[in-house]
């Protein structure tokens, strides 16, 4: 029996992995959205393509990820890929990365995230000021 992909559950998984709350996703999707509507969306087996595209743009995750991700298959791949020799203490391991470059990259990503958060904060303040007027 073929297991069907639950697109709503996949939206929830990716949203949670990114540390994004339902309210934040609702805000990104527009004025018609709220936390309750996102909760109901995440319960749907199939989500309309145009809505998946909006969610994809908001979360910066390809539409195909929501349509094709299957947690059971991912766990099987991980379980079958890493054997007894796949450990940190393996003397035969080779690492092809520069730790300083990785730290620089993480720092740049953190700065970009902070800048995006500040921009979102400014937009929220502007929206609130409009509502007050």
Give the phi and the psi of residue 95 in degrees, each rounded to 5.
-115, 125
Flag whether 18 is in a domain: yes
In this structure, are 59 and 34 located in the same domain?
Answer: yes
Q: How many angstroms separate the CA atoms of 129 and 12, rounded?
A: 31
If you average pLDDT over residues 64-83, what whole number do you get?
65
Flag whether 91 is in a domain: no
pTM higher than 0.85, yes or no?
A: no
Q: Considering the chain, what percentage of its residues have pLDDT values greater than 70?
A: 77
pLDDT given at position 3: 57
In this structure, are 19 and 58 located in the same domain?
Answer: yes
Flag whether 93 is in a domain: no
CA dihedral angle for residue 95, residue 101, residue 104, residue 106, rounded to 10 degrees: -30
Q: Which residue has the higher pLDDT, 89 or 55?
A: 55
Domain of residue 13, residue span: 7-82
If one counts the domains in the chain, the total is 2
The count of other CB atoms within 10 Å of the CB of residue 120 is: 13
Q: What is the CATH number of the domain that holds 48?
A: 1.10.260.40
Per-residue pLDDT at 77 exceeds 60: no
């Amino acid at each position: 029996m073929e297991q069907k992909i639950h697109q709503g559950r996949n939206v929830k998984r990716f949203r949670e992995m990114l540390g994004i709350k339902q309210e934040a996703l609702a805000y990104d999707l527009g004025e018609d959205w709220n936390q309750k509507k996102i909760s109901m969306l995440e319960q749907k087996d199939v989500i309309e393509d145009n809505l998946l595209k909006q969610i994809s743009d908001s979360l910066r995750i390809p539409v195909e990820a929501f349509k094709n991700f299957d947690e059971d298959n991912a766990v099987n791949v991980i379980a079958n890929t890493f054997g007894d020799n796949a450990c940190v203490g393996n003397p035969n391991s080779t690492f092809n990365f520069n730790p300083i470059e990785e730290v620089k990259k993480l720092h740049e990503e953190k700065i970009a995230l902070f800048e995006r958060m500040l921009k979102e904060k400014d937009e929220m303040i502007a929206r609130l000021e409009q509502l007050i007027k």
